A and B are shown apart, each in its own frame.
Chain A
Amino acid sequence: MITVNGENRELEKPVTVTEYVQQCNYVPAQVVVELNEEIIKREIWGETLLKDGDVVEILQFMGGGSR
């Protein structure tokens, strides 16, 4: 099980970040991925495997600021 954006998610099998982003229907160019508090560069998404206990943040830009 991994944690994605604060929620627990079951992984059927280990997946790469690329595969996970695709499965969730994100546009790769519009998100940034942080794995266990480290930024994972897009170039190595394909070789980064998500495993049990990982804490993932998938972030995007939105309108807004402090309010």
Chain B
Amino acid sequence: MSTEMKNTEDKLILGGHEFTSRFILGSGKFSLELVKACIEEAGAQIVTLALRRANQGGLANILDYVPKDVTLLPNTSGARNAEEAVRIARLSRELGCGDFVKIEVIHDSKYLLPDNYETIKATEILAKEGFVVMPYMYPDLNAARDLVNAGAACVMPLGSPIGSNKGICTKEFIQILIDEIDLPIIVDAGIGRPSQACEAMEMGAAAVMANTAIATAGDVRVMAEAFKKAIEAGRSAYLSGMGRTLERGASASSPLTGFLHD
């Protein structure tokens, strides 16, 4: 596939919207100026936001720093159950960010693991209200199937605990989702290095979301770009198809010479 063909045809489709970038950026742990620079270096077209109390007027707002052509993806962070997630989603939509919502339902403050059951409940309610629902979940094939049936636009399984930078600890179970679920699988949480983002894309993930890996990097802008390149590399490799692995022995890349000996 030529580069041009790949760019125009290989699109990420979520809720009927098309994206050419497969890198979703989380906005936490950045200063406002840096978040704008990172979105640009990352080439991100989707950025997550949290909904919180506006305790003081007259201060700078993140909406002034996110480029206008970027899709806002409010998350339901803070929600401990489906009801709270639904409330946050409705409030976010009223703020005027469009119809996307990322469901995060977490009541475990030690590991920040999502509650799949409450996530499925929230997905069903919000999908019926016309939201493009992107649920963050613990990789479980049964839960993923329930999310499909509930009307999710994709499934976002975690690689390892949020903010841990530990990589794709759940690799085998994410691969199962990629192989069995007919929705975009977006690996989210725990990706700590560009190589891990590349690995997720090589596996066939539709996209990768990262936040801490970039926000805690030495040079945040350089890391954002490194992730962008890694995700593109992984996607190209996946589309190409990997070469086969030899379990035993080797296979020379050129024929053994005949002129040195018989």
Docked pose: A57 CA to B84 CA in angstroms: 14
Q: Is A8 an interface residue (CB 8 A)?
A: no
Which residue of chain B has its CB nearest to the CB of A58?
Answer: B54
Docked pose: A5 CA to B53 CA in angstroms: 6
B51 contact set on A, CB distance < 8 A: 32, 59-62
CB distance from B209 to the nearest CB of A (A): 9
Which residue of chain B has its CB nearest to the CB of A24?
Answer: B57
Are B94 and A61 closer than 8 Å at their CB atoms?
A: no
Are A64 and B77 closer than 8 Å at their CB atoms?
A: yes
A63 contact set on B, CB distance < 8 A: 27-30, 32, 35, 49-50, 62
Q: Is B13 an interface residue (CB 8 A)?
A: no
Are B52 and A60 closer than 8 Å at their CB atoms?
A: yes
CB distance from A31 to the nearest CB of B (A): 5
Kindly supply a per-residue 1/0 record for chain B positions 73-106, scoring 1 wherever the CB is within 8 Å of any chain A CB and 0 otherwise: 0110110000000000011101111000010101
Given A29, A42, A62, A67, which contacts B52 in the complex, CB threshold below 8 Å?
A62
Q: How many residue-residue contacts, CB under 8 A, span A and B? A: 105
Are A62 and B162 closer than 8 Å at their CB atoms?
A: no
Are A31 and B54 closer than 8 Å at their CB atoms?
A: yes
Q: Is B63 an interface residue (CB 8 A)?
A: yes
Are A66 and B72 closer than 8 Å at their CB atoms?
A: no
Docked pose: A29 CA to B97 CA in angstroms: 11
B residues 61-76 near A (Cβ < 8 Å) are: 61-63, 72, 74-75
Docked pose: A21 CA to B108 CA in angstroms: 35
Are B62 and A62 closer than 8 Å at their CB atoms?
A: yes
Q: Is B26 an interface residue (CB 8 A)?
A: yes
Given B53, B58, B91, B163, which contacts A25 in the complex, CB threshold below 8 Å?
B58
Are A61 and B104 closer than 8 Å at their CB atoms?
A: no
CB distance from A43 to the nearest CB of B (A): 11
Are A39 and B72 closer than 8 Å at their CB atoms?
A: no
Interface residues in chain B, defined as those with a beta carbon under 8 Å from any beta carbon in chain A: 26-30, 32, 35, 48-55, 57-58, 61-63, 72, 74-75, 77-78, 90-92, 94-97, 102, 104, 106, 112, 162-163, 211-212
**Which 6 A-B residue pairs are closest in the complex by CB-CB distance?**
A25-B57, A64-B28, A63-B27, A60-B54, A25-B58, A64-B50
